[in-house]
Each structure stands twice: as structure tokens, then as C-alpha cells.
Amino acid sequence: MSGMNEPGTISIGENDTVLIEVEGESYRIAPEDAKALIFQGRVVPVVQVRRKIRPGGGQTQALSIEGHAAMNRAGKAVLIFTRAGYYIIPFMSFRKVADGEVVSAPLFPLRPDTDGGMV
């Protein structure tokens, strides 16, 4: 993963979708999934939307699950895993963005340690 040291950003989008921007890639967490993560601690999918131009004009959207988001063991941070890298954000910052209290918040990169865990 090339840019595991580059930060990312989360923000709130249309219809309360949580948008994730990292490494020039755009991902999203659906509003119902963000609520399941916040209130039930569930692991939720991180989806990427790719727009494709059809021959003869018009566009289609291809949705694909490209990662997941989960609470850390202590319940104080959200871990976001994507093809672009691994990121962490304090739980309260994630919640404030998901609730629309703040417009955006930074993601901080995680890097694998030599024992296979995260640092």
C-alpha cells in the first residue's frame, strides 16, 4: 500500500452518508451502517462508487465493498480499512461527523507493526 502515511478525511454527504477521502480514492458508509457502528458497535462495509460511461452515452454506477469500519477494542476509536490503507479516527470525531455536528474530521494513518498488529 503505497501511501500508508498520508492522512485522509471524513465528511458528511448527501442523505447523511459518511464520505471517506483517502489517497485520491472516495469511499462511503451508508447512514444506516454508520448508526449500526455508533450505537451497536457492528462492523460495517466501506463502499466505493465507481461511475462508468456506457458506450453510446449515459453513466452507470458500480458499487463495491472495498473495506470495512469497526470500533477498536476500547470503544474509543473507529478503525477504517480500505484498499488505500488503514486509518483511525477518535470515536467522538466520527460520531460528530456522522451526526452532522461538524462538517469534516481528519483520519490518521495506521501502519502494520512487525508482529502483524497495528501501531
Residue 117 clears pLDDT 60, i.e. is over it: no
Give the model's pLDDT for residue 6. 67
Reduced to 3 states (helix: H, G, I; strand: E, B; else coil), residue 25 is strand
In a domain, residue 1? The reply is no
In a domain, residue 35? The reply is yes
User: Grid coordinates standing for 64?
Assistant: 463495491
Region at 94 (left for phi over 0; alpha for psi -120 to 50; beta for the rest): alpha
Reported confidence tier of residue 28, pLDDT bands at 50, 70, 90: very high
Residue 118 clears pLDDT 70, i.e. is over it: no
Global confidence as pTM? 0.80
In a domain, residue 98? The reply is yes
In a domain, residue 110? The reply is no
In a domain, residue 90? The reply is yes
In a domain, residue 78? The reply is yes
Q: Considering its fold, how many domains does the chain have in total?
A: 1
Give the model's pLDDT for residue 91. 97
